[in-house]
Structure 1
Amino acid sequence: MKVAYSSLLHRYERLYERALEEGNAGKARFFALQCAGLLRKLASEELQFSHYYLKLAEDWEKKAENVEVDVKKRSNGVERLITTSNVTWEDVGGLKEAKKLLAQAVGMTMAKVPGGFKPWRGVLLFGPPGTGKTLLAKALAGSMKATFIGVKVSDVLSKYFGESSKIASSIYALARQKAPSVVFIDEFDALAMKRSSMEDAGRRLLGTILAEMDGFQDSGGVITLASTNAPWDLDEAMLSRFPLRIYVPLPDEEGAREIFAIHLRGLPLRVTLESLARVAVKKLYSGREIANACTFAVLHMLEEMNPELSDPLKVGSIAGKELTIRPLEAKDFRYAFKRVKSPVKRELLKKYERWAKEYGV
């Protein structure tokens, strides 16, 4: 084989492999056909080896035909992580500042920006548990009609033990292929610790995620969101990959009112949302606790109006039966507020606020 052709063929082969690793089927197909074309040209020039070169060319043409299958094989089954988010900003009560910052970040990532300007590719959502970090990520993907790839760190470490780094690479390859994409790393607390104390699997997974984020800094259409309840455990290298750090706090009265309105939508009320919101803020409720309180309040009303719900001997008879309801009253929520307790203490809130002031936006 001529030296020039050999060098070019090896280059096309490397580019084909790289495209497969990136999950870029179109680019992989292009370089496979380039290899086939080069080999057919060689067959026409070196007649004594034409049969050999034509066979290789046919092999590359088959690779071009089956490139989608090859990309899928290399994805390690991560397609199952893709979900279509139907959540919108209207489904998220309060958190106006967080919504605005996220919208700006993803807008700059997905849009064509001026040359030399590099938008954020990593966004950290931090705050107490239950404040809506996952909901924000889903609303972001839903509002932008972007591919949403949700990753739970604990799942990756347990289900793919020994292969977590490969899975992380496959996730980002898929994100680039399906761009615009939002990669949401949930339960980031499993990795958000000083790396000297991490187990090998977690350390390798974290290293791969950081390397992948570095690798697509200049390629548009992919943004990484990570959530953590313990931002102070992140080291400097991790913080540098997430320059936009958004505090997702407990709701204020306005936010709590909006959350109650979302969870009580369509239900008749004899109590004001404002009065419920004041109690929720005083009790340090997150959005999750507010949702839980609404469920308890409805349950209290239904039990009063349908006594058979509380009778183990009769509960089987209500299947398919339309339950009797009445408007929700203050007594239903007093019942709920007694049972729903916030795990967040004021000292912990102060710690979040101090960290947000020092490292957040």
Structure 2
Amino acid sequence: MAESSILMLKARDLLATPNHEGLAIVVDKLFMDRETDEYKSANALYDFCVDKFANLLTLKLLKVYVCSSSNELVRSRSIYLLSETLTLFRSRSYEFSRVSLYEIKPLLISCLTMQETREADIKSLRRVVSFVTYNVMMLDNSGWDELSECILELAINEPLKAFHIFIDLPRVDEKFIYRFMERILEEAEKVLLNPEEDRIEDWGLALQTIVKMGIQILDSEMKIDLIKNLLCVLVKSASELVEKGMEEFLLRGLEDLERFLSRDKNLHNYSTAQCNFVSVFMFKIRELGTHTNEAAKKINRLIKSDNNPAIKTSPSLIQQQPQEKQDSVLERGMAELAKSLTECEVDWMHTPEA
């Protein structure tokens, strides 16, 4: 009891003060040798804050990130720690309060618009954005137009950062996507159709962006023509790589796509239409090469496998509509998509793999 009271006092002192330096010191100590007294003390305090003051801790870590531009190490550690903590929150089905979201949202936008962000920090930020967006969808009916506008700005000025943020988003409505869709797809297509040997990660990121756009659109009422256009871009980029003797480049991109889909599908519970979109893409590139065929089959098996029930899935705005409307939207989308498939495509999508 005495220890708990001491931790409570320390936690309140740490989080209530406007100064962020105290938390920055705790963050640094959490990256020390775990056998040291400094680490053990900091870890006990941090765990207490996670359990008792999740909203305040999130705000404070974001402030550490924003205010530590002169100390890149503290900045990177703070956002990495927050991304790991929010992953824990998701597994516990934790949700932010509405009041805290009003403060978190603009602060997170400030984080996204900071210049010269390290790639490791962007990867942490995108997971933070994903969880906060999930909470906004659950708790805030007014949505998050500022994030949509921010992604548009990033797509114009820092397209790779925009790709990162977009691909980890939970399901959002078409109004949110429409604001930046044209520009982000334009930038992703540029990267896909102009591959550079030393920029394989960028190419893979653009590939994931266009695939994720198809997945998002199939959960909305947007026209199926957009899906067909996305498939054309995806297939064209893959075909041109093989024609240039760059199949190995394509395979590395598909490996990254497989890892992305494995996590995203489990996290966001893809519909049948969304799974079939990915399967159609895999079908259309299966004959580009022997190794590509194997990679396509592997992704197809993944996309047809059952979701992991242990992972909490995110809601979509469609899921919040009456069941009859959900069914009509998805069935209409699949019916239109099916029209573009040959019988052999449908057979390949549904034939069990050995």
TM-score (norm 1): 0.28
TM-score (norm 2): 0.29
- Higher relative contact order (CA closer than 8 Å, sequence separation 6+): 1
Q: Which has the greater radius of gyration?
A: 1
| Greater helix fraction, Structure 1 or Structure 2 | 2
